[in-house]
Amino acid sequence: MPRAPLSRIRAAGLEMLIVDVTPEFYEVPYISSYILADRARGEALVVDPGPARPGCEKLAEVLDTLGSRKVTIYVTHVHIDHAGSVGCLAERLSDRLVRVYAHPRAVPHLADPSKLWKAARSFLGWIAEGYGEPTPTPRELVEATSNGETHDYGWVRVEVLHTPGHASHHQSLLVSPAEDRSRVLFPGDSAGMTHPAVDAVAPTTPPPFRLELYVESLRRQIRASPSLVAYTHVGPGEPSLLERHLRQVERWAAVAASLSEAGDPPEPRRFLDAVAQVDEDTRRFLEFAEAKSRALLEALLHSAMGFIDYIARRD
């Protein structure tokens, strides 16, 4: 399907640039990086800069075009499809990158991504190689966040919410104009994924997945009442998707438990087929992935593996 490398939207009082940083092998859009910029101030905030390839090159070009003299990066978590390009951007923007904000548990992996890269290659295989190896980020640039802290830039405010479940080092962001109560939620992988080509939502739950923490984090974001949800996978969506995803997660958990009680833990594809019988969103997402993208199908299988692993550990 057509791939627009850059789009602009105005929502909840904010002008956002959405940069498609999906590697070509996906064949469909899968990873969005967001830039909020104040051209008059020469400032830009980047949320989830994406994998090393092609995130670093694409974002550096856009930031150059914007004339951004001060750049701040927020990473929802350090999985390489969300934050693999941070080290490369630190080098490319050496005179302009002022800070990288991450969850405290994520900070060591930005400074030294070797363990992260080893784990990514072991679990993702060819997909990890396609994303590219992350490079170290200078430790002095990286600052750990605390849950609930707020950053006020004068033209925009950022509130940090620690949202574990998908990963222990996950955080989400609530961003709003300085003089407006509307808010855009950047949930990273804590609220599932959606896709502009299909009216569906699906979990982002690879192992080690923690269901109770994931649900608690999701409910917290629902209570925040955002005006818009800016999904990294993949693009803006309506807040109603959060409630829809909560109901979906409950269905996935019920199917995983039922299959486990009936015998040995199911294979991921068998699990997805079973869920598709009771969840319309899963059926549509699965059909789209099968038709359009092997890599997207792998992502769904990884999410299934998270539920299967969770039920096995719980039992």
| DSSP track, 80-105 | HHHHTTHHHHHHHTTTTEEEEEE-TT
CA distance 176 to 178: 6
Give the per-residue pLDDT at 1. 43
CA distance 91 to 197: 35
Give the per-residue pLDDT at 296. 96
- pLDDT per residue, tens digit, the chain (315 aa), is 445 566 887 776 788 999 999 999 999 999 999 999 998 999 999 999 999 999 999 999 999 999 999 999 999 999 999 999 999 999 999 999 999 999 999 999 999 999 999 999 999 999 999 999 999 999 999 999 999 999 999 999 999 999 999 999 999 999 999 877 789 999 999 999 999 899 999 999 999 999 999 999 999 999 999 999 999 999 999 999 999 999 999 999 999 999 988 877 789 999 999 999 999 999 999 999 999 999 999 999 999 999 999 998 887
Single-letter amino acid code for the residue at 29? P
CATH T-level fold of 6-314: Metallo-beta-lactamase; Chain A (3.60.15)
List the chain domain ranges: 6-314
Structure token digits, residue 287: 């059909």
Taking alpha carbons only, the member of 235, 22, 85, 38 closest to residue 5 is: 22
- Interior CA angle at 102 toward 217 and 134, to 5°? 115
pTM score, two decimals? 0.95
